[in-house]
């Protein structure tokens, strides 16, 4: 999985660099789309597995071809319709819709090399849904999207399993999109609904206008309170773990003089922030810390060889050091700046998962 993540991120970087130089559909296919499916583990040069210009006759129309088909045991399982990187994908799904119903394929992908839209037939058997159940933007990769994409790798592809989760994924994405839209610009109907839950008076246009800024403010306060609640819970858990660890160290006290190490609240806060950053990647019980006089270590499995970051917080020039190939060090102003390096921290942690 780690290698797959690295390859997808490398392709993302490459697409960002070359997209403005690509002018045709064929160039898009060869320089971006085919490498994408190669990373998924398919032999793009094997016509038994990956067929270009796959014939998908539609009714009386013969010789209709879809750009690519991924095959399994002689039957197409995924149809791929490719467009130029310069083209919008709007309205191009109708072509794919026609092909889908004439084959045994259960999935279809519409792409311009940047956006990949995944379709299936959740609403009516053998009839492609009008909206995708999953969409990936290669230039805006999220950890959750990479995890979903990984299900389509050749070595882990399970048609029935993906189909069962497609429905849930489709509506999760729709709800996330809806909530994102309501965050800054709540729809009139949404405000109207919320007002009806808390306001006993008569709902009028004036009432609606009065409540719109209240709804916006409530949204932001609610999210902030939820985040703070999680942070506080994590801090309490960490304090409890710390007390337990200190008690253990006292009970197993060795007769040896060692320099006193003082673990500060700021270091515990840094530890908690890293745990929260990694919570979707690893079990947080695997995340430990070891403090010493020079720096504060955060590591996996309480194994010093698996240290992820080192924090220097007890001095004027605060810093964070990553356990990457270059042992990169960056200066920070305060401990909350650790959040700015969430992706880097996850990248390092993946080496030890």
pLDDT at 107: 87
Q: What percent of the chain has pLDDT over 70?
A: 85
pLDDT at 77: 87
pLDDT at 49 over 80: yes
* Interval 53-61 mean pLDDT: 65
The predicted-structure confidence for 246-267, as pLDDT tens digits, reads as follows: 555 555 554 444 556 678 888 8
Structure tokens at 16: 């960002």
- Residue 124 is given by DSSP the state B
Write out the DSSP string of 215-235. HHHHHHHHHHHHHHHHHHHHH
pLDDT at 172: 75
CA atoms of 283 and 306, how far apart (whole Å): 15
Q: What percent of the chain has pLDDT over 90?
A: 27
Residue 44: pLDDT band with limits 50, 70, 90: very high
5-43 as b/e: b if 16+ CB within 10 A: beebeebbeebeeebeebeebeebbebbbbbbbebbebe
* Interval 204-213 mean pLDDT: 80
pLDDT at 60 over 50: no
* Interval 176-197 mean pLDDT: 78
* Interval 344-350 mean pLDDT: 93
The highest-confidence range among 196-210, 213-227, 248-262, by mean pLDDT, is 196-210
pLDDT at 256: 46
Terminal-residue alpha carbon distance, the chain? 10
Residue 13, by phi and psi: left (phi above 0), alpha (psi -120 to 50) or beta?
alpha
Residue identified by tokens 């999935």 is: 107
Among 141-150, 209-218, 230-239, 318-327, where is mean pLDDT lowest? 230-239
- Does residue 317 or residue 28 have the better pLDDT? 28
- Does residue 214 or residue 92 have the better pLDDT? 214
pLDDT at 255: 45
Residue 57: pLDDT band with limits 50, 70, 90: low
The predicted-structure confidence for 292-324, as pLDDT tens digits, reads as follows: 878 899 999 888 889 999 999 876 788 999 999
Assessment of whether the complete model's pTM goes beyond 0.75: no
């Amino acid at each position: 999985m780690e290698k797959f993540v690295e390859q997808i991120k490398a392709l993302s970087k490459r697409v960002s660099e070359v997209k403005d130089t690509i002018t045709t559909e064929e160039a898009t296919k060869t320089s971006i789309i085919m490498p994408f499916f190669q990373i998924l583990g398919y032999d793009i040069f094997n016509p038994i597995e990956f067929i270009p210009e796959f014939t998908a006759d539609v009714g009386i129309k013969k010789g209709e071809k879809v750009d690519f088909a991924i095959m399994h045991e002689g039957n197409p399982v995924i149809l791929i319709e490719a467009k130029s990187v310069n083209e919008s994908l709007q309205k191009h799904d109708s072509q794919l819709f026609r092909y889908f119903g004439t084959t045994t394929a259960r999935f279809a992908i519409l792409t311009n090399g940047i956006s990949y839209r995944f379709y299936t037939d959740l609403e009516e058997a053998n009839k492609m849904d009008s909206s995708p159940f999953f969409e990936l933007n290669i230039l805006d990769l999220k950890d959750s999207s990479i995890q979903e994409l990984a299900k389509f790798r050749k070595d882990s592809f399970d048609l029935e399993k993906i189909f069962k989760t497609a429905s849930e994924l489709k509506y999760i994405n729709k709800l996330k999109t809806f909530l994102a839209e309501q965050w800054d610009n709540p729809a009139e109907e949404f405000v109207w609904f919320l007002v009806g839950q808390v306001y006993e008076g008569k709902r009028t246009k004036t009432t609606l206008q009065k409540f719109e800024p209240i709804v916006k403010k409530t949204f932001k306060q609610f999210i902030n309170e939820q985040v703070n609640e999680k942070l506080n819970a994590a801090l309490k858990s960490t304090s409890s773990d710390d007390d337990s660890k200190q008690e253990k160290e006292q009970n197993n006290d060795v007769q040896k003089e060692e320099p006193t190490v003082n673990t500060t609240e700021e270091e515990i806060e840094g530890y908690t922030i890293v745990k929260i950053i990694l919570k979707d990647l690893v079990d947080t019980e695997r995340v430990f810390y070891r403090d010493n006089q020079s720096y504060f270590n955060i590591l996996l499995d309480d194994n010093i060889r698996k240290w992820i970051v080192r924090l220097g917080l007890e001095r004027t020039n605060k810093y964070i050091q990553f356990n990457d190939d270059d042992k990169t060090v960056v200066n920070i102003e305060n401990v909350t700046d650790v959040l700015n390096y969430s992706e880097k921290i996850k990248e390092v942690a993946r080496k030890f998962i």
